[in-house]
Chains A and B, each alone.
Chain A
Amino acid sequence: MSETPASATAPRGADWGRFVGRPGRSLTRRLIWLAAAWILVALVIAALVLTQAFQESALRRLGDMLNETIDEIVVAASRTAEGEVVPQIQDARTLRLLSGKYWQVLEMQPDGRLVSIARSTSLWTYDLDLPPDLPRRLDAAFGEVITFNTTGPKDDPATREPLRVAASMKTIPRHDDPVVFLAAIDRSEVDADTRQFATLTWGAMVILGFGLVAAVFIQVRIGLRPLFDLRDEIADVRKGKAARIGRRYPLEIQPLAEQVNRLLDHNQEVVERQRTHVGNLAHALKTPISVMLAEAGTAQGPLPELVRRQTQVMQGQVDHHLRRARAAARAAHGLGETTAVPEVLDELAVMIEQVFRAKDVEIDWRAPDDLAFLGERQDLQEILGNLIENAAKFSRRRVRIAAGESGLGQMIVVVEDDGAGLPADQRDEVMKRGARLDESAPGSGLGLSIVDDLTRAYGGRLTLGDSDMGGLKAVLELPAAHTDARAPAAR
């Protein structure tokens, strides 16, 4: 039995902890709720204390007045011939009937009953309504003044005014039994004042509370703004608009920004290492493949043929895994690198013209000076290198390249040649092969499958058509970098 409550309270405690710090719950809301709870408690306590203090002070003032009245009637009390105590005081309110200010003198009988021996004119023939334990309390505080509340001396209970009463029991000369002096005054005005004060106080506190919560809200929003900024900047990095976290942040989150940058650097390092590793592996495998291929040569027979076939499979595997590893490296990387297109076009044009110099190929490229590709230089080199080499290979002499921004963060590169072109059905064949990476044969002749894979990896598109120059027209759509993000990455 004893275990049940223990195990039941444990998760409740955890729940409370989670209520203020649950993951996924808004930090803003959490701060505001905590502040609001604290403000609520503080304001309620303040309102209660203020109201109480006001009421006590008002009642004390009433009590002082009543004490004076008691003093007066005690002093004025005198014994008539009939042996009665008749205080004569000239307070007008005690003379006016049911005025709200009364006094009464009572005698304590030996059996504990109180018998009225004199009362103010205002009280007419009524008796003040007294609590039953009054004689005992008076006895206990003999000679002292005690105060209590009661209601007025009217027949109709609905119209009876609330009264504040001061009572004191004293022995007076020539009186055997103790005499009780009572003075009472209408409390309704004080009650109304207290109520009004309470209303005002609570109203003020509510307004103050809302004001404070609003202030906290604004403070939290402003205070957390750097966090939102950081979030936006990280989103920019992910989208490729920026390479690193560049802004300065407040002391508390600057280390976080620095750690993010360090993570990005580390990421880049890993990617570079992976690339180097893949390159080394390829190199290590390709030389033996070369040797075997050369050894088999063009000789006839089952063994040379087997070697030729198997080395081709090996070569295909090497190429395939090389490409896969690079695609994976790119996916892990992909952080906002930009590449100047004219530079890449220039170096490729010079180089490919040189390779095809026997044919005297002429590559005429045009691109705006500030055109930049949103992606890695190596990939743009790979895409354009294959396309241009392909065009040069199949051209008669001329290759034309036009690149430009097409708006909406895209750019278009058109590569054309004046060769014989490619029939439409073969174009489809080439593209289809590119779409299925796993089946793409090595040395597929056109290198277009690589171009297509890479272009797709960048969310771009490669379409083939007929050029008015006579040959093939390849149209590339690729992501372009925005002008402002371009400058720092330009090499």
Chain B
Amino acid sequence: MRVLLVEDDVDLTRQLKAALSDAGYAVDHAPDGEEAHYLGENEPYDVIVLDLGLPKIDGVSVLERWRREGKTTPVLILTARGAWSDKVAGFDAGADDYLTKPFHTEELLARLRALLRRSAGIASATLSCGGLRLDPRAARASVNGEPLRLTSLEYRLLHYMMMHQGRVISRTELVEHLYDQDFDRDSNTIEVFIGRVRKKVGADRIETVRGLGYRLTPLAGETEAA
């Protein structure tokens, strides 16, 4: 497993390098944002540990650039800023996990293991419907290449509709597949989730068939790509 460690503090770098090597990773190190960006862009890393406070280019910008360039390597951000607003900003930039300083090295190793487990087998069959794509193994979805940020219930709804795209799906059917138990099965629930998913994928992709249910279709003009 190759890991890119992006950290500007010399002592912390030494410690993390040692800990990661001990855990069996091949470690590359970048001391600033510019080099980090270059390495991340050109080398096939399995996971990246990214400090946010970096010289030259800050960590969030580096991460945004990678994601814009289509790099899907899982990234764990290290930050001194423990506020939720900072965490949210990191996730918006495309982070997969965060760790707030100060942290225990064991915690970092455990998080990295979880990230790697999650991203394993990323090249699986994806579902698509026009510009909408969904990768069931990585549990990721995107619209025209832009990653979607879905909650698990929204994701499950979209997943089910993509598996049955083009067909009218009744509300009862959706409720049954949304919840594995008999929780919250009021008639309003599906409307709420349809509304939220529509907001994220584009309202026209999900059609309301009056009295019957909903249907997911590609937008007019979009070519159906298997």
Interface residues of A (CB under 8 A from B): 279, 282-291, 293-295, 297, 311, 315, 319, 346-351, 353-355, 357-358, 360-366, 377-378, 381-382, 384-386, 398, 400
Contacts and interface: CB of A to CB of B under 8 A. Distances in A.
B75 to A, nearest CB: 12
A112 B108 CA distance: 135
Contact of A355 (B92, B97, B149, B196): B97
**Interface majority SS (helix, strand, loop, mixed), chain A:** helix
A311 B11 contact: no
B56 interface: no
Contacts of B139: 357
B224 interface: no
A377 B83 CA distance: 11
Given A283-B53, A358-B118, A297 B151 contact: no
A347 B149 contact: yes
Interface of B: 9, 11-12, 15-16, 19, 53, 79-85, 87-88, 91-92, 96-98, 101-105, 114, 117-118, 139, 149-153, 183-184, 192, 196
Given A283-B81, A354-B96, A362-B153, 11 more contacts: A282-B81, A283-B53, A291-B12, A293-B103, A293-B104, A294-B15, A348-B88, A350-B91, A355-B98, A385-B87, A386-B84
Contact of A354 (B84, B85, B91, B102): B91
B151 A289 contact: no
Given A353-B152, A358-B114, A283 B80 contact: yes
A382 B85 contact: yes
B136 to A, nearest CB: 14
B97 to A, nearest CB: 6
Contacts of B101: 283, 286-287, 289-290
Contacts of A355: 97-98
A291 B92 CA distance: 28
A277 B35 CA distance: 27
A40 B149 CA distance: 77
Interface centre among A282, A355, A378 (most CB of B within 10 A): A355
Interface centre among B15, B84, B150, B151 (most CB of A within 10 A): B84
20 contacts: A282-B80, A288-B9, A290-B12, A293-B103, A315-B102, A346-B149, A347-B92, A347-B149, A353-B151, A354-B91, A361-B152, A363-B153, A364-B183, A364-B184, A378-B83, A378-B84, A381-B84, A384-B84, A385-B84, A386-B84
A306 to B, nearest CB: 16
A354 B118 CA distance: 10
Given A358-B114, A364-B184, A385-B87, A346 B151 contact: yes
Contacts of A350: 91, 149-151
A348 B84 contact: yes
A282 to B, nearest CB: 5
Given A293-B104, A381-B84, A287 B151 contact: no
Contacts of A289: 101-102
A283 B8 CA distance: 12
A441 to B, nearest CB: 15
A400 B151 CA distance: 12
Given A353-B151, A362-B152, A279 B105 contact: no
A293 B15 CA distance: 10
Given A357-B118, A358-B117, A279 B152 contact: no
A374 B150 CA distance: 26
Contacts of A357: 114, 118, 139
Contacts of B12: 287, 290-291, 294
Given A291-B15, A358-B118, A351 B88 contact: yes
Contacts of A358: 114, 117-118
A310 to B, nearest CB: 12
Contacts of B184: 364, 400
Contacts of B149: 346-347, 350
A297 B15 CA distance: 10
A366 B79 CA distance: 31
Contact of B151 (A319, A363, A378, A398): A363
Nearest to B150: A350
Nearest to B98: A355
Contacts of B114: 357-358
Contacts of B88: 347-348, 351, 381, 385
A487 to B, nearest CB: 18
B196 A346 contact: yes
Interface centre among A282, A284, A286 (most CB of B within 10 A): A286
B11 A291 contact: yes
Contact of B102 (A293, A349, A362): A293
Nearest to A380: B84
B105 A297 contact: yes
A382 B86 CA distance: 10
B72 to A, nearest CB: 14
A386 B82 CA distance: 11
Contact of B80 (A287, A354, A362, A381): A287
